[in-house]
Structure 1
Amino acid sequence: MNKEELGGFLRSRRARVQPAEMGLAAGARRQTPGLRREEVALLAGISVDYYIRLEQGRGPHPSEQVLGALGRVLRLTADEHDHLLRLAGHPPVRAVPTREVPGNVLRLLERLDGVPAMVINVRYDVLAWNPMLVALIGDPAERPAGERNTLRWLFGGDRPPSGSMLQLGRQCVADLRASGRYPGDPDVRRLVDELSASSPQFAALWAAREIAVQRTLRKRTVHPVVGELELDCEILPVPGRDQRLVLYTAAPGTASGHALRRLRDTLPG
């Protein structure tokens, strides 16, 4: 159980819920955003002292029933509720962490000759990719193995991300939070510490404690050969592994769809 993270997460979500959403009057003397601690405790059916100790990182190990009640009061999404369970020491069964990509997934990458695709792990390390991804973003093999990480690409460059790229970064940071790997996984902790120290934007996004497992993203970029691209990024879990297959697609007949076809034509052979 990570009491400090649990308390911080509860505080951040309590501040997000408006009293009117729970049928409470805002009141003229309300000085803090969101619900009061006393209101959360009352609505969840627990004592005020018990809830205060949870927020302060001094509470006992809460049961799944208590966490379920808090999740309903704080209006948590399914992903956020899973994260709350993990913080309180009730983690779901996790896939085995490994950098070895299954052979069937590698064969699938080879067959996706018209779709940029890659395999990433929970840290956003790029583990495998196909020629179309190289045509889209360059060859990850030209970077040292430790730098093949999309979060480092987003937040570790000379220019801080902005616009759509910053929104993409926000979604990825929320996804990393939702994995439940921090702070128990030393590799994830090192990555978070590194980027928090080097990127004020990453540090602010991490401190916001947003939680959302990403399944579909939108990526906008300008390619030096085929021009503007607006791509749907589908993120598919690899069964039995702590890995995901990332596919970049565009709707047929669109400008981006035609651009992807032109990109395919630039490949050798």
Structure 2
Amino acid sequence: MPTDEDRRGELGAFLRSVRERVVRAEFGLPPAGRGRTVGLRREEVSYLSGVSVTWYTWLEQGRDINPSRQVLDAVGRTLRLGVAEHRYVLNLAGFAPLPAPPSHEVATVPSHLQRFLDAIGDNPAYALTAEWGIAGWNDAYERLYPNVATTAPNERNLLWAVFTDPAVRALLADWELTSQRFLAEFRAEIGSRLGDPVLADLVARLSDVSPAFRAGWQRHSIEGFESRERLFHHPEFGTVRYEHHQLRPSDQPEFQIVVYTPLAD
């Protein structure tokens, strides 16, 4: 198990490695001593980041200090860290990565994730945003829940569908149990972001239109996700049983992919 000293040492070594290999011309800086075109001085990183040179030097030396997230973000921007690199720095310093900021715009999955959903084939699959907006789905999921393709984008939200669409209520064999389980999982996921405008608006609108949501929200139930059996009463296919799975793409962790795989009777 790595110690705090190990993590501080790795953080310092990583920052030093990045600093020493960046191209000076990309920062509008002339070559350094002996015509060196690669690598920034610590003083230059300090100046560009707005961080004291002593503080930055201590970071690279792995000193027992407690850098703020703002300092690490500033250094990360200066060194032009990628998403994975920035996340690595935050984790080493004991911070969780910042969630994606909420947006009133309707998100759609990137093309490579849509291809992944399509490749899942006959197993219903869809992608959720951090606010549980349905951002993509495959043909199998549309066959299971046709309304997903015709619902207005700003209402294409899993919780909204579960608590307001009569077709979903008829589709779910155990609607009372499943709807409250979803609500408890949703609350567990977004607990630290309850003040976000998009989430506050969703909760307010659902509380207005759904007594079941309002009562469940007031219970403050919390549950983590677990794969489980799901039973659907489909008007065309009859009763179908699936196992419910969830995963997050490493390169797009703001989305969660939900897949239903069939269970034999």
Q: Would you say same fold, with TM above 0.5?
A: yes
1:183 corresponds to: 194
8 A Cα contact 2:161 2:168, kept in partner:
no
Aligned-partner Cα distance in 2 for 1:135–1:163? 17
Letter of the 2:100 partner, please give it.
V
Residue 208 of structure 2 aligns to a residue whose secondary structure is helix
- 1:127-206 correspondence to structure 2 within 5 Å: 127-157=135-165, 161=169, 164-179=174-189, 180-206=191-217
Candidates 118, 122, 131, aligned match of 1:114? 122
Candidates 96, 99, 103, aligned match of 2:100? 96
Distance 1:114 1:163, change over 3 A: closer
Q: Which moved more, 1:93-102 or 1:204-213?
A: 93-102
Letter of the 2:181 partner, please give it.
Q
Query: Of the two structures, which has the highest relative contact order with CA contacts closer than 8 Å and spacing of 6 or more?
Result: 1
Q: Which runs of 5+ in 2 are unaligned?
A: 1-93
Aligned-partner Cα distance in 2 for 1:173–1:91? 27
Q: Which runs of 5+ in 1 are unaligned?
A: 1-89, 256-269
Deviation at 1:236, TM superposition (A): 1.0
Distance 1:163 1:91, change over 3 A: farther
More helix by percentage: 2
Q: Which moved more, 1:102-111 or 1:159-168?
A: 159-168
Aligned-partner Cα distance in 2 for 1:96–1:160? 29
Letter of the 2:117 partner, please give it.
L
Deviation at 1:193, TM superposition (A): 0.8
Deviation at 1:164, TM superposition (A): 1.2
Deviation at 1:100, TM superposition (A): 4.2
Q: Which moved more, 1:209-218 or 1:221-230?
A: 209-218
Deviation at 1:181, TM superposition (A): 4.7
Letter of the 1:194 partner, please give it.
R
Question: In terms of Rg, which structure is larger?
Answer: 2
* Identity across matched positions, percent: 24
Aligned-partner Cα distance in 1 for 2:211–2:160? 13
Deviation at 1:133, TM superposition (A): 0.8
Candidates 234, 238, 252, aligned match of 2:249? 238
Distance 1:193 1:217, change over 3 A: farther
Distance 1:163 1:131, change over 3 A: closer
1:211 matched to 2:215? The reply is no
**Aligned length, in residue pairs:** 164
Deviation at 1:227, TM superposition (A): 0.6
Aligned-partner Cα distance in 1 for 2:168–2:235? 20
Letter of the 2:188 partner, please give it.
A
Residue 153 of structure 1 aligns to a residue whose secondary structure is helix
Deviation at 1:144, TM superposition (A): 0.9
